[in-house]
A and B are shown apart, each in its own frame.
Chain A
């Protein structure tokens, strides 16, 4: 029994954290400035982690990418990185290879989810998965409150393939989102802790007040007890383990955002402070790929009603 990642997996995580701190800024993403991030991710090998070795990737599994998704969350990365981890089994070797070396981006969507700019879309509608190159897609820009994400409504009449099922990709997206949420929550907690150490009121740091301490202690508790679900699900990515991870991570990140805002007070409510960029990412990921309610219902159907899910055919319907 050993519930910890390998040294290599931890090292990869540190490398990505370092890369994102140098080559990515969520503030620039909001401002629409071009950044070298995607290219650098390809160089580091991040984009090919889940791509088979035969197509130039690392042939890794969820344990190899889960910490990377967590780092993407911590940095509030606005790019389809979880998609790069979820998509490869659904892609042709050619697309896999383009994904791994950064020549192409791939984005996934369930039903009418909004999509970012990408070269290839995998859209699941009415029980079928459609593979749609950018050139066949009709995109209509939609403004959302998470301004770092440039998202669009997607329509298409022709697709390259329209036959497959999710092939577990829905659940992989839910798992990737869960990891991002835990990373986002961790960042929110850390900036709140730093802020209350320096913000003075009544002649002392507000972080010395018990009422403030307990809010942040609760946020830490929830994150610390959500994260193991995410790692457990990466180890054994079954629908129920993934549902537990996404439900717990969504709630923990939501509460970390509330705690961080409350502890910042009015400055955190200001658009000029960076805090809102992380909070808005939390709010956009919480309902994506199944909300906490939806995932707990899926757990309920298994543990209370005895249904077993395969991640494909017999899922509870997504709330619209």
Chain B
């Protein structure tokens, strides 16, 4: 066992910290049109300095950082209270899938522009009648000469009103049911036949969108992975979303540190245990992640245990914010805690509700019988 960072990892941390200290700006929420534009410019700045996608190959704008270095970067990013990553659904969810299933042409066309935030990607999974039951997708793709015509509706697409591309699942084989006969499409949101309508979230910001497809054309080259194999391709993305990449421990460690500072400003003996519990859970998530990273470095794959991660970090985020709000009493809106709480409340719902995740844990980790 060795929990020390190497000299080069420590140097990587110093370099990241230094750059962030010199460059981090305080930006408004990226879930409004103005805020999004500013956050997108910030993404570009990250890209130009080589910090947008640290773990990617150099040819796509990365610096080939190791997993440990990526964790370090995330810790520094959130410690510096740097802006929200509006390109996260592209770089953390679509990109891993592209690296695994994408053609050379797709990787060359898409990845670098994504890293530079020239394209910002929205996720098109959920539909009005396909949420937890994602395999109930009804949006369809009709085979035509040279490509496909899309029909139907996607919803809850984060920042869909501001993004210019969408990755999503459509039923390409009308005779197949459930998980079969779906394909994974990459769709420009300004294509003819695509209509985007912003939807306001719990906090009132237009951070959601619903997207309507009415005979929108997608050429064959924008199908990711094999036709009708979309479910398997998408699940690779889903496991990154639940697992390591979307929610690194750095975010929660930073919130936990802010919670301690808040307690020191407003000490309340009644809340000591609760604050310590929440703070400890952030550290539990960090340590658990180090175990996962060790397993990945040993060449093992992240399986259904990714669901443990997802339940834990999403409930941890709520717990940290609730502890802060308890300390704040009626000053809950101070320092963005109430807004952060409202954002945290989405965690147990998106990326597969925690109820679905607990089913996955019970059936695929513990081996309990499916119904």
Contacts and interface: CB of A to CB of B under 8 A. Distances in A.
Interface in B1-23: 1-6, 9
A220 B365 contact: yes
A278 interface: no
A296 B275 CA distance: 10
Question: What is the interface of chain B mostly: helix, strand, loop, or mixed?
Answer: helix
Given A226-B284, A244-B283, A304-B263, A216 B294 contact: no
A217 B6 CA distance: 36
A224 to B, nearest CB: 6
A224 B288 contact: yes
Interface stretch (B43-51, B155-163, B353-361): B353-361
Contact of A225 (B273, B285, B370): B285
Contacts of A235: 1, 3
Contact of B260 (A205, A208, A213, A303): A303
Interface residues of A, number: 42
Contacts of A4: 1, 291, 294-295, 298
Contact of B272 (A6, A213, A236, A297): A297
A229 B291 contact: no
Interface string A137-181: 000000000000000000000000000000000000000000000
B267 interface: yes
A224 B366 contact: no
Chain B, interface residues (CB within 8 Å), range: 35 or more
B68 interface: yes
Contact of A220 (B264, B285, B297, B361): B361
Interface of B: 1-6, 9, 68, 260, 263-264, 267, 272-273, 275-277, 279-281, 283-285, 287-288, 290-291, 293-295, 297-298, 308, 311-312, 355, 358-359, 361-363, 365-371
Given A217-B359, A221-B312, 18 more contacts: A2-B1, A3-B3, A4-B291, A193-B368, A204-B371, A210-B355, A212-B368, A214-B362, A217-B358, A221-B361, A224-B288, A228-B287, A229-B284, A293-B273, A296-B277, A300-B272, A303-B279, A304-B263
12 contacts: A1-B3, A2-B1, A3-B294, A4-B1, A193-B368, A197-B367, A212-B368, A220-B365, A225-B284, A297-B273, A297-B276, A303-B276
